[in-house]
Amino acid sequence: DAGVTQSPTHLIKTRGQQVTLRCSPKSGHDTVSWYQQALGQGPQFIFQYYEEEERQRGNFPDRFSGHQFPNYSSELNVNALLLGDSALYLCASSLPGLAGGGGSYNEQFFGPGTRLTVL
């Protein structure tokens, strides 16, 4: 089992550009969450996808959008990049709970992250 994989590992962009980050969940998982981890901070929840729909969203602007594919893989898109978007972007996958959409008590398995630098 390859676990959660993310690509690319590192990315450098300039302000105003757009970026797409990719995530493949752990085998058997169908729920994907994205987190932003700024340097020296804890991860912050961006959004979660389940059954190809955004189920929950954190306090992030509409410049952050996502998609989940039928094979459960997911993309995170960020438009009009700002310097402050520089961070480690983490993808996590999990099983849905009884209520679907990733049970609150289920372990989330994290990928290694994509380091985004905006110049």
Tell the smallest beta-carbon distance from residue 14 to other proteins (Å).
Answer: 24
107: contact with other proteins by CB under 8 A? yes
State yes or no: residue 97 binds other proteins (CB under 8 A).
yes
Judged by CB under 8 A, the stretch of 14-22, 70-78, 79-87, 104-112 that binds other proteins is 104-112
Candidates 11-19, 32-40, 65-73, 74-82; binding stretch for other proteins (CB under 8 A) = 32-40
Residue 14 or 41 having the CB closest to other proteins? 41
Q: Which long-range contacts (CB under 8 A, 24 or more apart) does 67-72 make?
A: 68/32, 72/25, 72/29, 72/30, 72/32
Contact 78, 63 (CB under 8 A): yes
Q: How many residues belong to the site for other proteins (CB under 8 A)?
A: 34
What is the C-alpha separation between 39 and 111, in angstroms, rounded?
17
